Amino acid sequence: MSKTTEVEIAVIGAGPGGYAAAFRAADLGKKVVLIDRDPTLGGVCLNRGCIPSKALLHIAKVMDETNNLSKMGVSYNKPDIDLEKIRLHKNKIVSQLNQGIDKMAKARGVETIQGLASFKNNNELGVKTKSSNITIKYEKCIIATGSTSGMIPGISINHDSILTSRTALELVDIPNKLLVIGGGAIGLELGQVYASLGSKVTIVEFMPTIIPGADEDIVKPLYRKLTKQFESILLSSKVTNLEVQKNNSINVSIENGKGVTNDNYDKVLVAIGRKPNTELLNLNNTDIKLNSEGYIDVDVYQRTSVKNIFAIGDIVGNPMLAHKATHEGKVAAEVCSGHPAAMDYKAIPSVVYTDPEVAWAGLNEVEAKLNKVNYTKGEFPWAASGRAISMGANQGKTKILFDPENKRVLGVGIVGPGAGDMISEAMLSIEMGADAEDISLTIHPHPTVGETFAMAAEVFLGTITDLYAPKK
């Protein structure tokens, strides 16, 4: 069975960017259809990424905190881990949020279609569902199809013992030995989850540091902790071969400056990045242009090379973050609806939800030195924070980079519990053009780790009283 329908705006992909775009356009009075391959809305982030991983990370964090309470005089027996209950807990959270998005779509009158969408031309989509083929004629289209896990170049193995972030979150079992390929956010977060649940975890990272691109001093406290939680962290190393054994274990060859080593692992998690979902869209039927990396080129209005087709989220390139996609979705929806809007930002925050959390926004020292940007900085060590010490978080740090001429905030890096929440104040400071005095004169509650943001500014200004800072 086939049919044809006409809409003002068609949105392909119901992740954070896609449903934000659809809902915003509907709020602006547009007739909208939202198409996704999944039976539930929310995309990878909600169903197989951000949300389920954070549910598991919370469990891991509580387990670690409980274990560390022994140092404070409170001891518990070894935890009894019920994987089935953990899975049910995770799935319940996802389901609850799925239902919430579905209700919001219905309340706004957004039509949702489960099916595979692809372009027929610059003005039409073909959508293949379980029961029919639908042709959708649109005035405007917003592409929000996201990304999928990348695999190791030259190595293609389809086996249950080779995990992606998606299959790792299914938590089928807890392998005794787990190799995680990739020392970025996804690899470290899932590595910490599995380590807390009993796996002996090894990380292999191609770059000479974990979380490449972040400042080394901000990453260092996390690295110290992971060296205790993980069996080993192999930096400046690469996997050259994977071979499935008769017992379904994986023999892995790892090459670094010391040569090549071979070892067996029960499972291997590949977390080396993601690639844009463009291959099923039939973009060749349109005039949409891709860049050299395979992402869709867009302008500040999220418009592609085709004036009535827009693209948002992972499919337009890094950083691949849900909050970036959401903002892009709203911009695209407003432009599609005839309202003035553009993607105009000074910074996008990044958070690694490990324990401790690592967060940064704006300029970091790596970028500053690379691009020869002048800066000065104020740092406050959490070893001088009463609140941090009471939490056992004295390895944390808050760092602010300032413009040496006007003293405005250029960038912020934070490591410690709650860093992901604290970075919001940093973002506001950057976007509002706040300077060191603005921050230092803002009264923060005491005792909190949040006040270390103001104290870092005071260190820069030379007005700090919670540290002794010799006059320059």
Nearest of 177, 205, 227, 223 to residue 272 by alpha carbon: 205
Residue type, 278: T
Sequence length of the chain is 472
CA distance 120 to 281: 9
Q: Are 395 and 382 in contact (CB under 8 A)?
A: yes
| 181-195 burial: b if 16+ Cβ within 10 Å, else e | bbbbbbbbbbbbbbb
Q: Are 225 and 416 in contact (CB under 8 A)?
A: no
CA distance 96 to 89: 11
The two structure tokens encoding residue 297? 């080129």
First to last CA, the chain: 78
According to DSSP, the β-strands at 350-352 and 358-362 are antiparallel
CA distance 264 to 25: 52
DSSP state, 300? T
Would you put residue 98 in left (φ > 0), alpha (ψ -120 to 50) or beta?
A: alpha
Nearest of 20, 60, 83, 118 to residue 329 by alpha carbon: 20
Name the catalytic one among 58, 89, 327, 446.
446
Element housing 240 (H / E): strand 238-244
Residue type, 3: K
The two structure tokens encoding residue 37? 């391959």
Q: Are 143 and 298 in contact (CB under 8 A)?
A: no
Residue type, 203: I
Nearest of 326, 427, 358 to residue 45 by alpha carbon: 326
58: annotated active-site residue: no
Residue type, 338: G
Q: What SS3 class is residue 31? A: coil
Beta bridge partners of 113: 35
Active site residues per annotation: 446
